[in-house]
Homo-oligomer: A and B are copies of this chain.
């Protein structure tokens, strides 16, 4: 399995390890063909799970979603769930990382030369573990993020199903430019009816009179989003997916965003105006603390296998 060539007797795995083209390689060598339809058609789906203090967090939720996404896109993985899971464990194990961002992608691959029927493509799978990614660091989270509402509408669910985690991000990228130019580092996009959807890599929650809402349509069904719903249930706090208007967001008592890349992150400014008193609110802080506490709980996490 080792991809080390004779010229590099001691490959550097410390920056991450990938499983690509059937081999485990240092992340710096993780490359795919420029002809793969995952590149030239962005015809692929992915998922990202994280490892915190040597434990995968809610890995089954991510694998369930990934397998659903793969099926919805009419792709096929090259191996069964057990091997998929073992491959992720091995990437983390080889890297030696204790806190990791673990990504898996299945692409259309390519059909035979001259064939354009996607049903005949040989699908491709790769995955990698790299150091944990923070959309906002813990220090930034203590202060809270500044969010901008984009003028660019989110790609509609009717065109590209957002419950299939995908790389169609040009609408989000152009929105990020808009955000940075407005001194914000988070952004959220509206749908064609003007309702709130999601941001690049995160779901959004707004609190009103003790009740959290998060958009119910046109969004990825995030695992961290589900985790917040589950934590609210544990805490006897009302929380539900439903329609979220711009006014719901503007007049919120608290706002938070959820992502595997950073967890439960407070938003304290929206389009230049303070949310509440401009500091992370108590309901957000409580959820944030409980979120990290669950990372040591065997019901929510499991250890990285170092034996494979």
Q: Which residues of B contact A108 (CB under 8 A)?
A: 173
Is A170 among interface residues, defined by CB-CB distance under 8 A? Answer: yes
Contact of A158 among B31, B42, B43, B152 (CB under 8 A): B152
C-alpha spacing A126/B180, complex, angstroms: 28
Q: Which residues of B contact A73 (CB under 8 A)?
A: 170, 174
Is A135 among interface residues, defined by CB-CB distance under 8 A? Answer: yes
Q: Count A interface residues, CB 8 Å.
A: 55
Contact of A33 among B30, B43, B167 (CB under 8 A): B30
Interchain nearest-CB distance for A104 vs B (Å): 11
Q: Which residues of B contact A306 (CB under 8 A)?
A: none
Q: Which residues of B contact A42 (CB under 8 A)?
A: 42, 167-170
C-alpha spacing A27/B110, complex, angstroms: 14
Q: Which of A115-123, A235-243, A267-275, A295-303 contacts B (4 or more CB under 8 A)?
A: A115-123
Taken residue by residue from 41 to 67, chain A's Cβ proximity to chain B (1 for < 8 Å, 0 otherwise) reads as: 111001000000000000000000000
Quick one: closest B residue to A151, CB to CB?
Answer: B158
Interchain nearest-CB distance for A30 vs B (Å): 5
Quick one: closest B residue to A137, CB to CB?
Answer: B114
Contact of A31 among B34, B74, B168, B180 (CB under 8 A): B34
Contact of A169 among B43, B134, B158 (CB under 8 A): B43
A residues touching B (Cβ–Cβ < 8 Å)?
A: 18, 20, 27, 30-35, 37-43, 46, 73-74, 105, 108, 114, 116-119, 126, 128, 130, 134-135, 152-156, 158-160, 164, 166-174, 176-177, 180, 185, 192, 200
- A sample of 6 more A-B contacts (CB under 8 A), given A117-B180, A168-B168, is A40-B167, A41-B169, A42-B169, A119-B177, A153-B159, A160-B170
**6 residue pairs, one from A and one from B, having the closest CB atoms:** A31-B31, A41-B169, A42-B42, A159-B171, A155-B159, A42-B167
